[in-house]
Amino acid sequence: MKKILVTGGAGYIGSELVQQLIERGHEPLIVDLCLFGEEPLKKVKGKYKLIKEDIREPKKEWFKEIETVCHLAGFSNDPMAAFNPEANMEINHRGTIQLAKLAKEAGVKKFIFASSGSVYDRGMTEDHENLQDENSEINLNPEYYYSISKIKAERDLKELADQNFKVYILRQGTVFGWSERMRFDLVVNTMLKTAICEKKLKVFHGGIMWRPLIDVSDVAKAYIMIASRQKEDKHFNIYNLVQDNYRILDLAHLIKKELKKEDIDVEVEVLYSKDPQRSYKISGSKIAREQGFLPTRDVGTALRKMIKEIKERKIDNVVQLNDKYYYNIQWLEHLTHMKQILENVKKIL
């Protein structure tokens, strides 16, 4: 495989991607501000090169001898985007395009962009049961800051794509599973955390909502597969990444089943509300057909892995599992608060 630059390489997906690249004998270049520190990379310390800089201020030297960029850096969900919509747009859209333009000028051959399956979500509409593919209509509702930033980035990346600069858009379903940069603010992960802490899962709207899901290790494998692909592809490619589509109620019962094996009894309480709920299903058949990519981990497998890691790391308690560090928006709010405090005490320090 050619040399690879990974933006956001110390993040939830990025740290898993970096680890898998290193396992394959590569020394990836990471660009990451490390808002969560370098702890997620401790297992592979000394086997990568790290540049602690902002992707909104890219430098040509980042791309020396680089042939593929895996661009994962950015605001990662709706709460973060809503916390600071302007920063979300600066990073997820404008920062992405600045990075891609400079990468193209520097001779990078492939640019793989982490987009989101949430671009298909239109809530509990009549067609929420329909399976959506890469040709389906996307949601242009400007209230969804996160999705809009991804859609705009996709649009402008398409304009940059040509025979010498191949662009791949990966519209990821909601990611689940264990990562060295663990998050408990993703639907499967947070449901598992809640079940452990509260011994109860409340499922709203009857739990009929659909979520397209994929394990973090499979996401990393998809990036590596595309990065290493030798066959000629179109200049611009969009692929959905999904292992399967699950109803929320089914997820609750899967979690209950797995925790029962650990002698943890969980009550599933089904509630009904008229509040709008997210619900959408996506197809992963195109990437299977064109790239030969097939996910290998289902939710049950990932749950067993997460439970094992939680126990072994002794974080299986309410205090540890609710630490701000595991929640992107809480950590961002915490850093913002600490910045204000540090400004006040900087003379002392």
Contact call for residues 44 and 18 (beta carbons, < 8 A): yes
The pTM of the full predicted model, rounded to 2 decimals, is 0.94
Q: Which of 140-144, 186-190, 290-294, 307-311 has the weakest average pLDDT?
A: 140-144
Q: 4-60 pLDDT, tens per residue?
A: 999 999 999 999 999 999 999 888 999 999 999 999 999 999 999 999 999 999 999
Q: Chain-wide mean pLDDT for the chain?
A: 93
Contact call for residues 188 and 253 (beta carbons, < 8 A): no
Q: In the structure encoding, which two tokens stand for residue 239, read together?
A: 């692929």
**347 pLDDT band (50/70/90 cuts)?**
low
| Highest mean predicted confidence (pLDDT) among 193-202, 223-232, 335-344 | 193-202
3-state SS, residue 235: coil
Sort 233 into a burial class: Cβ within 10 Å, 0-12 / 13-18 / 19+: middle
Residue 207 has, within 13 A of its CA and on its CB side, a CA count of 18
Asked whether residue 296 carries a pLDDT value surpassing 60, the answer given is yes
Asked whether residue 104 carries a pLDDT value surpassing 90, the answer given is yes
Q: 251-285 pLDDT, tens per residue?
A: 999 999 999 999 999 999 999 876 767 899 999 99
Look at the block and give the residue holding tokens 């692929």. 239
Q: Which of 103-107, 117-121, 221-225, 336-340 has the weakest average pLDDT?
A: 336-340
CA atoms of 307 and 22, how far apart (whole Å): 25
**108 pLDDT band (50/70/90 cuts)?**
very high
Which domains, and CATH codes, for the chain?
Answer: 4-334 (3.40.50.720)
Q: Which of 83-87, 163-167, 201-205 has the weakest average pLDDT?
A: 83-87
